């Protein structure tokens, strides 16, 4: 992913889970909030796995992002991936997530300003601003958002298969924060999504880019890096085709490429 960003001179916003940067966390203490909804037997197996396997490797990922030849923004994806919008999460727990996510990143030379809520579960925005964040990724507008759950799932599949043009957005002020809504998730290829052709993903993104140019709005593409691993060869190839279009349109003067932090700076002007 970083090689593609460098090749096409694209700066992206990366959202990092802070606890992955700990040397060796006290799993029972540091991750108690994130694991609290698991059954006790599942929780215990999970903790034993983390303690036995050398999978706590977030520092090298952060260094790769920081060393990219094209500057990348590093934001936060919370401290322990706590689902902030869960009704069981208290104001104090949310505030601690925000504060601790900043604290751990500062230890690595980063002062994060952009926040991505785990599972897009948004809450406690006053506490987010008090912690020092400037923006967050808002929920993607959807033509089927208000339909019943089962119908939404069907509409989602239709939307992806037909590569229906995704929404383009404008940031909006929410108190001291800037809400920068998502436009499109670059879908992984696991589960039922493996039956959705790669071309549908590409075409959908290309339509979003053209719509952003036409309407002078933002096309906000996002995904988790592990989504790419569900079919690395195909999804990287598709991502490159999207980046080529971005590169061409930017060179024509039709398109700006900005991180979330850069959008905040532009809106302030």
Condensed to tens digits (0 to 9), the pLDDT of residues 199-249 reads 999 999 999 999 999 999 999 999 999 999 999 999 999 999 999 999 999
Cβ atoms < 10 Å from Cβ of 202: 19
Q: How confident is the model at residue 67 (pLDDT cuts 50, 70, 90)?
A: very high
Task: Report the candidate in 114, 84, 107 with the shortest Cα–Cα distance to residue 16.
Answer: 114
pTM of the model: 0.89
In the chain, % of residues over pLDDT 90: 82
Question: 149-161 vs 198-215: helix axis angle to the nearest 10?
Answer: 90
Task: Report the candidate in 16, 17, 11, 150 with the shortest Cα–Cα distance to residue 80.
Answer: 17
């Amino acid at each position: 992913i970083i090689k593609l960003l460098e090749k096409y001179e694209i700066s992206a916003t990366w959202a990092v889970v802070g606890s992955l940067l700990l040397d060796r966390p006290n799993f029972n203490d540091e991750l108690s909030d994130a694991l609290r909804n698991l059954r006790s037997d599942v929780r215990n197996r999970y903790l034993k796995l983390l303690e036995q396997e050398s999978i706590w490797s977030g520092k090298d990922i952060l260094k790769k992002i920081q060393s990219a030849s094209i500057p990348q923004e590093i934001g936060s994806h919370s401290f322990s991936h706590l689902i902030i919008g869960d009704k069981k999460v208290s104001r104090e727990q949310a505030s601690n997530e925000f504060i601790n996510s900043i604290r751990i990143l500062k230890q690595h030379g980063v002062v994060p300003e952009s926040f991505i809520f785990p599972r897009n579960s948004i809450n406690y925005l006053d506490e987010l601003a008090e912690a020092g964040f400037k923006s967050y990724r808002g929920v993607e507008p959807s033509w089927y958002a208000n339909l019943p759950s089962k119908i939404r799932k069907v509409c989602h599949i239709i939307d992806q298969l037909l590569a229906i043009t995704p929404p383009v957005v404008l940031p909006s002020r929410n108190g001291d924060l800037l809400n920068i809504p998502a436009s499109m998730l670059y879908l992984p290829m696991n589960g039922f999504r493996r039956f959705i052709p790669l071309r549908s993903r590409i075409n959908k993104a290309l339509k979003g880019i053209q719509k952003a140019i036409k309407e002078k709005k933002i096309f906000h593409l996002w995904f988790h890096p592990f989504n790419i691993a569900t079919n690395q060869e195909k999804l990287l190839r598709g991502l490159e085709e999207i980046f080529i279009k971005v590169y061409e349109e930017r060179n024509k003067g039709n398109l700006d490429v900005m991180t979330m932090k850069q959008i905040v700076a532009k809106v302030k002007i």
